[in-house]
């Protein structure tokens, strides 16, 4: 080792160089750089507070659901976090220990959060505050408005289940002892829509009224009536009276006994018949006073006579003379009637090519009652009539070279023509668990000829229908239509949708999944079928169709045959 030398100052050494060694801190900077990611990942906690209030009264809203969503940003990525809570009796909800990183605080100070609040009786509200501006215990306020809904109410005729247009509806809603009243009228479908009905109303009262009907009232709460339209349907019972008349000979003014009279209500639908007594008097009982009616009178020795249209309430005020119907005796004129081959109802607008003794007499078109006249016929004349109408099959066989003396009865002069049914679409043959049984009789586990058919047994009264879309019920189940449609059995795994009009238009009369049996409520009190919903089915059918799946129809199923149907299989 070298000896240590001391430094000695002297005059002859005037210049010296002194070197001082500097300390090095580069390692500390490196350490901080390496530590920075860990610092940025530091997690911070805070409590976030929200409050819900009524936008009108500013009162606190308890038990409101609050959803709080924010972004949790880290160096490694980002997560969207959701927190849910319910407000306490002061309308406050606290989300405790909401975590976020120092990294998010430094670099994403403008991040927004989303807060959504809703309550059973209130509409939702949402706000989007800056997440990092949310302070401990500082309330962010959400203002909720009372939830209101629009509801349609329906008025229908209690007897025929048809809609009642222009009925007056009065709606009274009670909330916390305060009443809100509204009024409206039903449209042609018997429907009236009311808006802004508060969902959490204490009580709602709806009264339907119309001239000629007895009022009906619904008293309920909004939650109950919101379940379905049936709970918002009012049934008005028609007020009725007796319609009486007298039938006399036009020329002799003598009474005509044993004449047949038809009461026609709307669209030429024959509702009922009556025979005049020995002095030519007749009457129809329990006729709805607001209906518009005509009376048609027939007698084999007289020409058919149809009165003018009368409103029943006006007809009841007429004198006996104005309620007298005069019949013109027949001479050599004969009245013929075109009828629908399926419904047996008169058919208007039918072209009839007339030949008498093989000579053309031109064409005549049937009127609104389905009738037309061939004048000047004598007993030995030979008559031929060819009837046709668009969308109907031609009839050239009913009256084909017949002598007039063979056409003396009304029935012999009826010419039926059948409508051409549209072709069904996407049709599959019926198979197990993909079919529905449609019948012109009631359906049960036993058969009674002309009254009941047995499920799973196709007979002359009905048939099984496979999967497909049938634009006309006549093309789907013609036998059931022919015998006044009265029963349906739907297999498990099968759904049917029945429409009131052809081509899947009009109202949905029935939408049901099997297993199900629906019988016509028209026969609900019939002794042989009235217990079909409760009885134990024999023939192994109880397992397939237990009591729980058997129901009566809502309305007369006879009226359902005019529409269309879809059969859908799982």
Q: Is 438 helix (H, G, I), strand (E, B) or coil?
A: strand
Residue 186 CA: distances (Å) to CA of 220, 447, 501, 551: 20, 44, 22, 30
- Judge whether 269 lies within some domain: yes
User: Over the Cα atoms of the chain, what is R_g?
Assistant: 42
Question: Do residues 440 and 562 both lie within one domain?
Answer: yes
Across the range 103-132, mean pLDDT stands at: 83
What is the percent of the chain with per-residue pLDDT over 90, rounded to a whole number?
A: 29
Whole-angstrom distance, CA of residue 233 vs CA of residue 67: 38
Question: Do residues 204 and 272 both lie within one domain?
Answer: no
Question: Do residues 460 and 556 both lie within one domain?
Answer: yes
Across the range 481-485, mean pLDDT stands at: 87
Whole-angstrom distance, CA of residue 289 vs CA of residue 164: 14
Burial of 278-316, coded b for 16+ CB within 10 Å and e otherwise, reads eebebebeebbbbbebbbbbbbeebbbbbbeebebeebe
* Residue 490: exposure state from Cβ atoms within 10 A (0-12, 13-18, ≥19): buried
Q: Mean pLDDT: which of 332-341, 367-376, 465-474 is highest? A: 465-474
Residue-averaged pLDDT of the chain: 84
Q: Return the structure tokens found at 81.
A: 């976090």
Question: Do residues 488 and 499 both lie within one domain?
Answer: yes
Q: Return the structure tokens found at 241.
A: 């009276």
Question: Do residues 441 and 559 both lie within one domain?
Answer: yes
Question: Do residues 457 and 554 both lie within one domain?
Answer: yes
At 63-80, the pLDDT tens digits run 888 999 998 888 778 888
- Judge whether 113 lies within some domain: yes
Question: How confident is the model at residue 10, as a pLDDT?
Answer: 57
Query: What count of other Cβ atoms lies within 10 Å of the Cβ of residue 243?
Result: 23
* Residue 50: exposure state from Cβ atoms within 10 A (0-12, 13-18, ≥19): buried
- Judge whether 13 lies within some domain: no
Question: Of 389, 417, 445, which one is at a domain's C-terminal end?
Answer: 417
Q: Is 210 helix (H, G, I), strand (E, B) or coil?
A: coil
Question: How confident is the model at residue 1, as a pLDDT?
Answer: 45
Question: How confident is the model at residue 493, as a pLDDT?
Answer: 93
CA angle, 525 then 344 then 407, to 5°: 130
Question: Do residues 267 and 203 both lie within one domain?
Answer: no
Query: Residue 218 — pLDDT band, cuts 50, 70, 90?
Result: confident
- Judge whether 17 lies within some domain: no
Question: Of 238, 260, 279, which one is at a domain's C-terminal end?
Answer: 238
The answer to whether residues 459 and 453 touch, using CB atoms and an 8 Å cutoff, is yes
At 485-497, the pLDDT tens digits run 999 999 999 999 9
- Residue-range definition of the domain harbouring residue 220: 148-238
Whole-angstrom distance, CA of residue 430 vs CA of residue 420: 23
Question: Do residues 176 and 194 both lie within one domain?
Answer: yes
Across the range 89-111, mean pLDDT stands at: 86
Residue 155 CA: distances (Å) to CA of 90, 212, 233, 380: 44, 13, 6, 58
How many CA within 13 A on the CB side of residue 196?
A: 5
Question: How confident is the model at residue 509, as a pLDDT?
Answer: 94
Strands 468-470 and 564-569 come out as: antiparallel
At 501-533, the pLDDT tens digits run 988 999 999 999 999 999 999 998 888 888 889
Number of domains in the chain: 5
Question: How confident is the model at residue 296, as a pLDDT?
Answer: 92
Q: Is 57 helix (H, G, I), strand (E, B) or coil?
A: coil
Q: What is the CATH number of the domain that holds 284?
A: 2.60.40.10
Question: How confident is the model at residue 288, as a pLDDT?
Answer: 83
Among 30-34, 204-208, 285-289, 338-342, the minimum mean pLDDT is found in 30-34
At 414-450, the pLDDT tens digits run 999 988 877 777 788 899 999 999 999 999 999 988 8
Question: Do residues 479 and 370 both lie within one domain?
Answer: no
Question: Do residues 225 and 258 both lie within one domain?
Answer: no
Q: What is the CATH number of the domain that holds 534?
A: 2.60.20.10
Q: Return the structure tokens found at 389.
A: 């109408």
Terminal C-alpha separation, the chain: 104
Question: How confident is the model at residue 384, as a pLDDT?
Answer: 96
Question: Do residues 159 and 216 both lie within one domain?
Answer: yes
Question: How confident is the model at residue 97, as a pLDDT?
Answer: 87
- Judge whether 139 lies within some domain: yes
- Judge whether 404 lies within some domain: yes
Across the range 330-339, mean pLDDT stands at: 81
Q: What is the CATH number of the domain that holds 410?
A: 2.60.40
Question: Do residues 232 and 281 both lie within one domain?
Answer: no
- Judge whether 301 lies within some domain: yes
At 157-167, the pLDDT tens digits run 888 788 888 87
Q: Is 37 helix (H, G, I), strand (E, B) or coil?
A: helix
Whole-angstrom distance, CA of residue 21 vs CA of residue 375: 143
Question: Of 89, 114, 144, which one is at a domain's C-terminal end?
Answer: 144
Q: What is the CATH number of the domain that holds 62?
A: 2.60.40.1120
Whole-angstrom distance, CA of residue 510 vs CA of residue 174: 35
Question: How confident is the model at residue 21, as a pLDDT?
Answer: 58
- Judge whether 94 lies within some domain: yes
């Amino acid at each position: 080792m070298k000896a240590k030398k001391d430094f000695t100052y002297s005059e002859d050494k005037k210049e010296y160089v002194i070197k001082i060694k500097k300390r090095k801190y580069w390692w500390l900077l490196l350490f901080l750089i390496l530590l920075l990611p860990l610092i940025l990942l530091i997690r911070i906690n805070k409590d976030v507070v929200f409050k819900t209030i009524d936008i009108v009264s500013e009162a606190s809203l308890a038990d409101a659901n609050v959803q709080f969503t924010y972004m949790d940003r880290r160096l490694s990525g980002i997560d969207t976090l959701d927190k849910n809570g319910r407000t306490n009796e002061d309308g406050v909800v606290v989300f405790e220990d909401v975590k976020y990183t120092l990294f998010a605080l430094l670099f994403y100070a403008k991040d927004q959060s989303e807060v959504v609040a809703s309550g059973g009786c209130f509409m939702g509200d949402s706000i989007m505050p800056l997440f990092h501006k949310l302070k401990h215990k500082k309330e962010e306020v959400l203002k909720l408005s009372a939830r209101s809904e629009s509801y349609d109410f329906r008025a229908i005729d209690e007897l025929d289940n048809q809609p009642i247009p222009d009925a007056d509806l009065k709606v009274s809603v009670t909330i916390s002892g305060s009443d809100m009243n509204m009024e409206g009228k039903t449209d042609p479908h018997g429907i009236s829509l009311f808006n802004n009905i508060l969902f959490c109303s204490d009580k709602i009262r709806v009264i339907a009224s119309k001239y000629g009907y007895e009022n009906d009232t619904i008293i309920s709460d909004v939650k109950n009536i919101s379940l379905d339209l049936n709970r918002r349907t009012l049934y008005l019972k028609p007020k009725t009276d007796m319609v009486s008349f007298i039938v006399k000979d036009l020329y002799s003014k003598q009474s005509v006994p044993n004449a047949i009279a038809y009461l026609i209500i709307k669209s030429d639908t024959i509702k009922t018949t009556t025979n005049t007594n020995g002095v030519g008097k007749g009457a129809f009982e329990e006729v709805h006073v607001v209906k518009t009616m005509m009376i048609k009178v027939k007698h084999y020795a007289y020409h058919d006579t149809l009165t003018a249209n009368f409103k029943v309430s006006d007809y009841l005020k007429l004198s006996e003379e104005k309620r007298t119907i005069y019949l013109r005796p027949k001479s050599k004129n004969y009245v013929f009637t075109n009828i629908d081959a399926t419904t047996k109802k008169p058919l208007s607008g039918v072209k009839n090519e007339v030949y008498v003794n093989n000579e053309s007499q031109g064409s005549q078109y049937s009127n609104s009652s389905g009738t037309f006249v061939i004048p000047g016929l004598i007993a030995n004349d030979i008559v031929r009539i060819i009837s046709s109408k668009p969308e109907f099959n031609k009839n050239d066989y009913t009256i084909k070279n017949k002598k007039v003396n063979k056409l003396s009865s009304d029935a012999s002069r009826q010419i039926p023509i059948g409508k051409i049914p549209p072709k069904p679409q996407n049709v599959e043959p019926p198979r197990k668990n993909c079919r529905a049984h449609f019948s012109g009789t009631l359906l049960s586990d036993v058969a009674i000829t002309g009254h009941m058919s047995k499920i799973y047994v196709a007979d002359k009264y009905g048939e099984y229908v496979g999967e497909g879309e049938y634009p006309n019920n006549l093309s789907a189940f013609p036998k059931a239509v022919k015998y006044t449609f009265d029963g349906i059995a739907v297999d498990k795994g099968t759904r049917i949708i029945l429409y009131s009009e052809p081509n899947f238009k009009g109202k949905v009369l029935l939408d049901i999944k099997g297993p199900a049996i629906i019988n016509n409520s028209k026969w609900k009190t019939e002794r042989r079928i009235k217990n079909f919903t409760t009885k134990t089915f024999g023939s192994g059918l109880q397992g397939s169709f237990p009591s729980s799946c058997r129901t009566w129809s809502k309305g007369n199923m006879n009226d359902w045959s005019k529409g269309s149907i879809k059969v859908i299989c799982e």
